[in-house]
Every structure is written in C-alpha cells, then in structure tokens.
Amino acid sequence: MADQQDHTSGRTDASRAGELDRRSMLKLLGAGVLGVGGAGLVSGSASASSSRLRSTRQTRISAAGSSTIKIGYITPRTGPLAGFSESDPFILGKVRRTAQFSRGLKIGGKHYSVRIKVIDSQSTPNRAAQVAQQLALSTKVDLILVSSAPETTNPVAAAAEQYHVPCLATVVPWESWYAGLGGDPLKPTKSFEYCAMFFFGMKEFAETFLPMWERIQKKTHADKVFAGMYPNDADGNAFRAGFPHYAEAAGYKFVTGGAFTDGTTTYSSMIADFKSHNCAFFQNCPLPPTFNTFWKQAITRDYKPVLATVAKVLLFPSTVDALGKLATNIATDAWWTPFTPHKSSLDGETARELASQWQHATGNVWWQSLGSTYSLFEVAVEAFSSVSTPHDHREVAAALHKVNYTGMCGTIDFAKGPAPGVGIIYPVGVQWKPDLEVLGKKFPWVPAVVDNSLAKETKLTGSLVAGTY
C-alpha cells in the first residue's frame, strides 16, 4: 500500500483535471470520515438512538435551573497526536485562573460558575466519538471544545451534531472538518446547527508554503516539481484534493506518492519515484511517526528536496527531537507565535508574555498550540456572554456562529469564513533551526519565523534557506 503510485506530472489541462480530482476525492473524504464517526457513535437499534436524542432534549430542559456551566474539552493527550496537546495543562491552568473561569460568568442577570472536564481522545477516532457521546449524554455538558487533527475533531463534531450539543473545534483544516460532517467544501453552503470551528484550509496552506517555494526556487533555479506525501485519511485526502490545485496554478508539477496507509514502514518505491521525477519541493501531512520513518529512509536514499514544507508533522519541538539534525531547515506552518501583537481577550496578556511564561515554567521553547487552545476558551466566553441562558444548546450554538472578536490568535469572525460556522486564522512559515535564542533563552531547536506573507504583523525571526539535511 505504501508504494502504490498515481503519478501526475505535466498535465495537458491541469486546472480542469485538478478540479475533477478534487471533486471525487472530497466526496470520498466526506463518506469516509462519516463512516468512522458513525461507527463510534451509534450502537444498538434505531429506537435506542431515538431514545438518546430524546434524553438529550430533556437534558437541555432539566438543566435550565443549574447554576454551573459545564464545558467538555477533548484532546489527544496520548498516542501519535500527543504533541498537539503538550501545552494543554499549562493553558488550562492559565484559563482557570482568569476571572471569567475562576469567578464565573454573569449571563441573563444570573451568575454561573464554570467547570471544565478534560478527556483524552488517545488519538483514535473511535475513542473520540465515545467520549463525546459520554459528555453529551452522561456529563450533560453545555459545550464541547475539541482540538487537534481530524482523528479527534471530526468524530467529536459528528457526535455533537447528532446529540444536539454545541461544539467548537480547532487545529484541523476546515475542508477536512466540513467534509467530515457531510458538507461539500467545493460548495460550502450547508450550515451545521451545533458545530463551529476556527483554523484555516488549503488556500492558507498554499499561501504560506508557495511563497517560500518561490523564494527558494529563484535562488536555486530548482525544477518546479513537487512531491506530495498524502496518506489515505481525512487530512491526506483533503490535501491531495486541494493543495495541488494551488501549486499547479503557480507553475509546479505534482507527483503523488499514492494514498498510502499511515504507519507503513517501507517507502523505497515512493522515494525512488520522487527522485526520478526530480521533485525539488516536498509537501506532506501524515502522522508524525510516519513522516519520521519516511524522512530517515529518504535521506539515506539521497532524496533531499531543496525545501520540504510539511503539515501536521514537525509542528512541535518534541517531534523535531526525534529527527535531530535531519530536521534542520524543514519548514512548516505556525498558526500562532509570540511575535505577533495579539493579546488575550480574557485578561489582556500578550502573546509574548504567554510564551515567556510557558518557557519559564516548562523549559521548552514556545509551542504554537498555546494560542489555539487558549482561543478555544476565549470563543466559549464570547458565545456564552451573548445568550440568555447557557443551558439552551440551540442558542449557544447559534451564538458560536456569530462570534466576531479579537484575542490571542488575532481576529476571528465566524460569519465571514469560507463556510458557515468557520472562522479563519492566518499562519506564518517557520523553519526549524538548531541552537538559537528566543525570548531570552537558548534552545536546541527553535521554529524561526521566515515568511509572514499571510500575517504581516508577525515579526520575522530568521532567514529562509534551502534544506541542509
């Protein structure tokens, strides 16, 4: 499966063919993700499912007199996606100490305390779906927050929509999330009543990675050919269907490694194919352990692209450590950094202050999930503050779709995104560099900001260079 090939280099009608590819792949993506989510959500007969739905409606009514707002937060604390949640305990501590969470919220003339229940998805879709169901039916939460890749966010969103519980997701390409709920990212008109999310999508990935490609290509005169390492999963299918469309429009030819299975251990055929097509640029989105295996084999076989721009992997120092010097100058996206003027809508703390406190408390360089996790709770407060009662699931969900505020990740407007209930934040390009100082302290590996095409307000902290693996 890992060596399955589906080459496309030099299309005669690239734009039209790419559009057809995108349509077919996104249909498959939607069906596949719903299949995963559904499997973990529903057990027993149709009548049992109807009974659960009736119970959910009754919960919304019976909770009306409660003076506690219950928030469930689902995150991959263990498993291959655990790097995404490394900063969770730190951020949750910060959030719980803000006035809004320590003293509670005043809504509709009544005071409410706020309780947060954190659950580990274990990086698996079935577990994510099961715990979302538990939060909806047993814990009877007023809102579910969820973060970090389709394996976690999509089954949770599907459960929330099924059981009529407001749900806010982040750190997932919006196309993956939207297709996972049954929408068509090519015609994003469908609105999901209980679910909303903020992050970005293929357009923003392309507008982050392609400017870096162009700058390196002009310096090196490398072939405008790129390799796409896209697994057969929600992220991989979304990237395969969407990203090449933008790269081809910029004059790059696409060579795909095929829809392989994450966790495959041998990539010799894929690597040979990338080499034979002179793929000077590389783009991917598998799980971190999968990329580590591939990259070590690629370097051993002398496949060394002039620039690798990776998504989903090498986002955090813990995943870079596993590659060591082989990670030098690999580029990725960063959706939050301490080098922006953004600040908390809860207590006014700046991005730089948040990162500095993290570095002091943990001894680790800043983690980009600090900002996205923090903003989940900012948006929750914005939504709850605009309703008459926090226990009316339909009213809270509607409020999520209308949030427009400025906070730790900048301005997020859910009414002006590419699809209903989608808010966009804008990433920058970073490269991993060894032994640099940041915010007054030196670290073994630092994500230096080398391109701010989409976020001019973010300060550059390093120079973009070709890979030296």
CATH number of residue 380's parent domain: 3.40.50.2300
pLDDT score at 48:
38
* Cα within 13 Å of Cα(406), Cβ side: 7
Same domain, 179 and 114: yes
Predicted local distance difference test score (pLDDT) of residue 12: 29
Q: Output the pLDDT for position 64.
A: 57
Note whether residue 351 is domain-resident.
yes
- Does residue 88 contact residue 377 with C-beta atoms inside 8 Å? no
Assigned domain for 303 exists: yes
Determine if residue 251 is left, alpha or beta; phi over 0 gives left, psi from -120 to 50 gives alpha, anything else beta. Answer: left
Asked if residue 240 and residue 365 are part of one domain, the reply reads: no
Among 97, 158, 99, which Cα is nearest to 129's? 158
Domain membership flag for residue 113: yes
Query: What's the pLDDT at 63?
Result: 56
For residue 158, give its domain range: 42-200+340-424
Residues 317 and 325: their CA atoms lie apart, in Å, by 13
- Residue-level pLDDT at 13: 32
- Can you tell me the distance from the alpha carbon of 28 to that of 234, in angstroms, rounded to the nearest whole number? 9
What is the tally of structural domains in the chain?
2
| pLDDT reported for residue 8 | 33
For residue 318, report the phi and psi dihedrals to the nearest 5 degrees.
-65, -35
- Is 402 a domain residue? yes
Q: Is residue 304 part of a domain?
A: yes
Contacts (Cβ under 8 Å, ≥6 apart) of 92: 73, 116, 118, 373
Residues 6+ apart with CB under 8 A from 373: 75, 85, 87, 88, 91, 92, 147, 170
Record the pTM: 0.87
Residue 81 falls within a domain, yes or no? yes
What's the count of helices (H) and strands (E) in the chain, helices before strands? 15, 16
Pair 225, 250: CB distance under 8 Å: no
**pLDDT given for residue 60 in this prediction:** 53
> Is 403 within 8 Å of 414 (Cβ atoms)?
yes
Q: Which of 310, 284, 372, 340 is nearest to 86 (CA)?
A: 372
Cα→Cα distances 43→14, 46, 125, Å: 45, 9, 15
The answer to whether residues 18 and 155 belong to one domain is: no
**70 and 172 co-located in one domain:** yes
Q: What Å distances lie between residue 351 and 72, 334, 340, 367, CA to CA?
A: 25, 14, 7, 11
Other beta carbons within 10 angstroms of residue 463's beta carbon come to: 9
CB 356 within 8 A of CB 338: yes
Instruction: Give 314's contacts (C-beta < 8 A, 6+ positions apart).
Output: 288, 291, 320, 323, 327, 330, 332, 432
Instruction: Answer yes or no: do 160 and 253 share one domain.
Output: no
Q: Are residues 246 and 383 in the same domain?
A: no
Q: What is the pLDDT of residues 44-75, one digit of tens each?
A: 333 334 444 444 444 454 355 689 999 999 99
DSSP-assigned letters across all residues of 264-330:
----HHHHHHHHHTT--EEEE---HHHHHHHHHHHHHTT---SEEEESSSS-SHHHHHTTGGGGTT-
Q: Are residues 253 and 348 in the same domain?
A: no
CA–CA gap between residue 257 and residue 266 (Å, rounded): 12
For residue 248 the two structure tokens come to: 């081809």
Does residue 35 sit within a domain? no
Task: For residue 379, give every residue at least 6 positions away whose Cβ sits within 8 Å of its Cβ, in sequence order, or none.
Answer: 168, 198, 400, 403, 405, 407, 412, 423
> Does residue 263 lie within any of the structural domains?
yes
Distance separating alpha carbons of residues 427 and 456, to the nearest angstrom:
10
Asked if residue 265 and residue 390 are part of one domain, the reply reads no
Residue 426, pLDDT score: 98
Same domain, 294 and 148: no
Does 214 share its domain with 258?
yes
Q: Both 218 and 304 in a single domain?
A: yes
Closest CA to 126 of 41, 191, 188: 41
Low-confidence ranges of the chain (pLDDT < 70): 1-65
Q: Dihedral sign for Cα 341, 345, 350, 351, please.
A: negative
225, β-bridge pairs:
253
Whether 293 and 309 share a structural domain: yes
